[in-house]
C-alpha cells in the first residue's frame, strides 16, 4: 500500500449515543465503545469515527458544544478517551473525533456574554450579528433559511439578530475573530495531542460567510450555491489547520464534512488542504447505471486532479438508513460497489446489519429538524435508533436489561442483532466482514484509473487498471450472465445459484 493510511481506509461511524450503553442511563457512551471494540475490529475497518461526546445541552444531539476540550459526564471521562485510543491502537484501529467548530451551544460562555453585553458590544463580534430590517429591526437581516427549517437568524430582542445556520441554540462563530481562530486551533491540538488518528470537521463548508451578507436570489433552492457555503475564504482556514495536522507524526487525517458536488469538494483536497472530503451526492443517486457511471467518473476526475481519491459515504446519522434509501438488496449492492472503487469509504454503524429507517412516534423524536419544520420533516432520528447486539427483547444488548434506550427500538429489532447475524453466512454482517477482508488483498492499492467494461446499459462493470478483479453491478431489471466478465465469483451481494447475477446485486469476479 502506498500513501497515508487514510487514502483507501474504511472508517466506521459510531453514533455514540446509539452504540452501547455502558453506564445504565439508556445513552450510548465511551465505556460502551471500549467494551465493544471487537466489533469494528472484526469487521476489518481501519478507523472509527466517534460523534461528539463534549458537554452539551443536547439541542442537536451533542452538535451544540459547551466546551470542546472536555467530555460530558454522561459519555464518560477524558480517561475513557485516552483508554479508548490506546485500546483501539492495540487492535489496529485509529480514532477519528468530530470537531464542531462552525458554531457553539447558545449556552457557551461566549454566547451568554454576547447576549448580556448588548448591541454593538465587543462580545458580539465573535458571532455573526446584524441589525434587523424594518423600522424597529423587527425582521431578520437576510432571507437565509436555517438548514433545520425556519429563518437562520434569531433576535436578541434589542434590535440585533444572530446567525445560526442550524438550530437557534447553535450560534455561528466568526472565524475571522482572532480569539475564535485561536480557540479552534487549541481544540484541534488538544485532541491531536491525545493521539487521535484524525479529525472530522463538522459543517466544513460553512465557516466563512460572504461579506455584506447578501440575500439569496429569488427562486434559490437548497443545495444551490449560497453566500454561507463553500466560500473561497474557507480554504485559508483548512490550509492553516492542515499545517497543524502535518506537525504531528503518523499522517493525521483531516476529513471535511462537505455536501457539494465534485467541483465544490475538490478544492478541499488540494495538496496543502485535507486528505478526505465527503462525497454525499452518491447517497441520493438512484440505482441507475448511467447516473453512477457519470457520477463516479466526475468525482474521480475532480479528486485525482489534486492527487487525491474520493471519499465514498454509504450512510450516516444525517440521512435515511441505507437499507431504506436503496432497499435492503440495493444497500448491499452499493456496499460492494463502493468498496471496489478507488478511495476511502465511510460505513455507518448499523448499516452492516441492514438496519432499516425506523418510523418513530412523534413524542420520541428529539431531532430539532422535526420541531423547526413544524413536523413536516420527521428529521434524522429514524436512522439513530440504538444498535441491537442480541436477539431476545429490548434493549437487545444495547443497555442492561430493563433500561430504556434513548430512542425506542421497534418490534422485530432483534432479528437484525449482531449475535444472530454472526452465525448466518448469508447475513449482511457476514457480507460486510467478507467484503472488507477481500478488499484489502484485491482492490486496495490498485490503480485509481477505472476501466469500464462493455455490457448492457444497466450494468456497471469495471476493473482498476487493465487487469485485476472485476466489479459487476446489475442495476437493470433482467439477470446478467456474470460468466461474460470472469471465471469465478469472489463475493456477491446475494447468493448466486447459477451463472446469473440477479437485478439489484453486485459481484466481485476474477
Supply the residues annotated as catalytic: 202, 247
* Binding test (CB under 6 A) with ligand GLC, winner from 53, 166, 346, 416: 166
8 Å CB contact between 144 and 153: yes
Nearer to ligand GLC, 183 or 257 (CB): 257
Nearer to ligand GLC, 30 or 313 (CB): 313
d(CA 452, CA 450): 6
Nearer to ligand GLC, 282 or 330 (CB): 282
Nearer to ligand GLC, 65 or 509 (CB): 65
Q: Smallest distance from the beta carbon of 240 to ligand GLC, in angstroms?
A: 21
Nearer to ligand GLC, 251 or 318 (CB): 318
Q: Smallest distance from the beta carbon of 318 to ligand GLC, in angstroms?
A: 5
261 Cβ partners below 8 Å, 6+ apart? 281, 298
Residues 185-224 that bind ligand GLC (CB under 6 A): 202-203
Q: Smallest distance from the beta carbon of 317 to ligand GLC, in angstroms?
A: 6
Residue of 248, 196, 10 lying closest to 85 (CA atoms) = 196
Whether the bond between 487 and the residue before it is cis, its omega within 30 degrees of 0, is no
Nearer to ligand GLC, 5 or 63 (CB): 63
Q: Smallest distance from the beta carbon of 172 to ligand GLC, in angstroms?
A: 10
* Binding test (CB under 6 A) with ligand GLC, winner from 14, 33, 95, 100: 100
Residue of 167, 164, 147 lying closest to 368 (CA atoms) = 167
Q: Smallest distance from the beta carbon of 201 to ligand GLC, in angstroms?
A: 10
- Nearest to ligand GLC by Cβ — which residue? 63
Residue of 275, 265, 264 lying closest to 241 (CA atoms) = 275
**Structural element, H or E, at residue 47:** strand 47-50
**Structural element, H or E, at residue 277:** strand 276-279
d(CA 246, CA 219): 43
Residues 220-249 that bind ligand GLC (CB under 6 A): none
Residues 3-22 that bind ligand GLC (CB under 6 A): none
Nearest 5°: phi and psi at 128?
Answer: -90, 100
Contacts 24+ apart (CB under 8 A), 277-285: 277/204, 277/311, 278/311, 278/313, 278/346, 279/310, 279/311, 279/312, 279/313, 280/313, 280/319, 282/312, 282/313, 282/334, 282/338, 283/313, 283/314, 283/315, 283/316, 283/319, 283/325, 284/325
Residues 306-325 that bind ligand GLC (CB under 6 A): 317-318
Site map (CB under 6 A) of ligand GLC, residues 269-308, x = contact: ----------------------------------------
Residues 356-385 that bind ligand GLC (CB under 6 A): none
Residue of 319, 308, 315 lying closest to 276 (CA atoms) = 308
Q: Smallest distance from the beta carbon of 196 to ligand GLC, in angstroms?
A: 18
What cell was used for 373?
419544520
Say how many residues touch ligand GLC, by CB under 6 A. Answer: 9
Q: Smallest distance from the beta carbon of 49 to ligand GLC, in angstroms?
A: 11
Nearer to ligand GLC, 46 or 60 (CB): 60
Q: Is 60 in the site for ligand GLC (CB under 6 A)?
A: yes
d(CA 257, CA 414): 32
Q: Measure Cα distances from 137 to 126, 153, 215 in Å.
A: 21, 12, 16
**Binding residues for ligand GLC, per CB under 6 A?**
60, 63, 100, 166, 202-203, 257, 317-318
Amino acid at each position: 500500500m502506498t500513501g497515508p493510511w487514510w487514502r483507501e481506509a474504511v472508517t466506521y461511524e459510531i453514533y455514540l449515543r446509539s452504540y452501547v450503553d455502558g453506564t445504565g442511563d439508556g445513552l450510548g457512551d465511551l465505556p460502551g465503545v471500549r467494551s465493544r471494540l471487537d466489533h469494528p475490529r472484526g469487521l476489518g475497518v481501519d478507523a472509527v469515527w466517534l460523534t461528539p461526546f463534549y458537554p452539551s445541552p443536547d439541542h442537536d444531539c451533542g452538535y451544540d458544544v459547551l466546551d470542546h476540550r472536555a467530555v460530558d459526564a454522561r459519555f464518560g471521562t477524558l480517561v475513557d478517551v485516552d483508554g479508548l485510543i490506546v485500546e483501539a491502537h492495540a487492535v489496529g484501529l485509529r480514532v477519528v473525533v468530530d470537531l464542531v467548530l462552525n458554531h457553539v451551544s447558545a449556552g457557551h460562555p461566549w454566547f451568554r456574554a454576547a447576549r448580556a453585553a448588548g448591541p454593538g458590544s465587543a462580545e458580539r463580534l465573535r458571532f455573526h450579528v446584524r441589525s434587523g430590517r424594518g423600522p424597529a429591526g423587527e425582521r431578520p437581516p437576510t432571507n437565509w433559511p436555517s438548514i433545520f427549517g425556519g429563518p437562520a437568524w434569531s433576535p436578541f430582542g434589542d434590535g440585533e439578530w444572530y446567525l445560526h445556520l442550524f438550530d437557534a441554540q447553535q450560534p455561528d462563530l466568526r472565524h475571522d475573530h482572532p480569539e475564535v481562530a485561536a480557540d479552534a486551533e487549541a481544540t484541534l491540538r488538544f485532541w491531536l495531542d491525545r493521539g487521535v488518528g484524525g479529525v472530522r470537521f463538522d459543517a466544513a463548508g460553512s465557516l466563512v460567510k460572504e461579506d455584506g451578507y447578501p440575500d439569496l436570489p429569488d427562486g434559490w433552492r437548497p443545495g444551490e450555491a449560497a453566500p454561507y457555503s463553500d466560500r473561497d475564504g474557507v480554504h485559508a482556514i483548512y490550509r492553516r489547520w492542515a499545517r497543524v495536522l502535518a506537525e504531528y507524526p503518523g499522517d493525521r487525517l483531516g476529513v471535511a464534512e462537505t455536501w457539494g458536488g465534485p467541483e465544490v469538494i475538490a478544492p478541499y483536497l488540494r495538496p496543502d488542504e485535507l486528505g478526505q472530503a465527503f462525497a454525499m451526492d452518491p447517497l441520493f443517486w438512484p440505482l441507475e447505471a448511467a447516473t453512477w457511471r457519470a457520477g463516479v467518473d466526475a468525482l474521480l476526475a475532480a479528486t485525482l486532479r489534486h492527487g487525491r481519491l474520493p471519499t465514498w459515504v454509504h450512510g450516516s446519522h444525517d440521512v435515511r438508513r441505507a437499507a431504506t434509501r436503496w432497499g435492503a438488496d440495493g444497500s448491499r449492492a452499493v456496499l460492494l460497489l463502493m468498496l471496489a472503487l478507488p478511495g476511502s469509504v465511510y460505513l455507518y454503524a448499523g448499516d452492516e446489519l441492514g438496519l432499516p429507517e425506523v418510523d418513530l412516534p412523534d413524542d420520541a423524536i428529539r431531532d430539532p429538524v422535526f420541531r423547526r419544520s413544524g413536523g413536516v420533516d420527521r428529521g434524522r432520528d429514524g436512522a439513530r435508533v440504538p444498535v441491537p447486539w442480541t436477539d431476545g427483547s429490548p434493549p437487545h444488548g444495547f443497555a442492561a436489561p430493563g433500561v430504556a434506550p434513548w430512542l425506542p427500538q421497534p418490534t422485530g429489532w432483534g432479528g437484525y442483532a449482531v449475535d444472530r447475524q454472526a452465525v448466518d453466512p448469508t447475513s449482511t454482517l457476514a457480507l460486510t466482514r467478507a467484503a472488507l477482508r477481500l478488499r484489502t488483498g484485491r482492490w486496495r492499492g490498485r490503480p485509481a484509473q477505472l476501466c469500464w467494461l462493455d455490457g448492457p446499459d444497466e450494468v456497471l462493470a469495471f476493473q482498476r487498471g487493465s487487469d485485476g478483479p472485476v466489479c459487476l453491478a446489475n442495476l437493470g431489471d433482467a439477470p446478467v450472465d456474470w460468466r461474460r466478465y470472469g471465471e469465478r465469483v469472489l463475493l456477491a451481494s446475494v447468493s448466486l445459484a447459477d451463472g446469473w447475477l440477479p437485478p439489484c446485486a453486485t459481484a466481485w469476479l476474477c
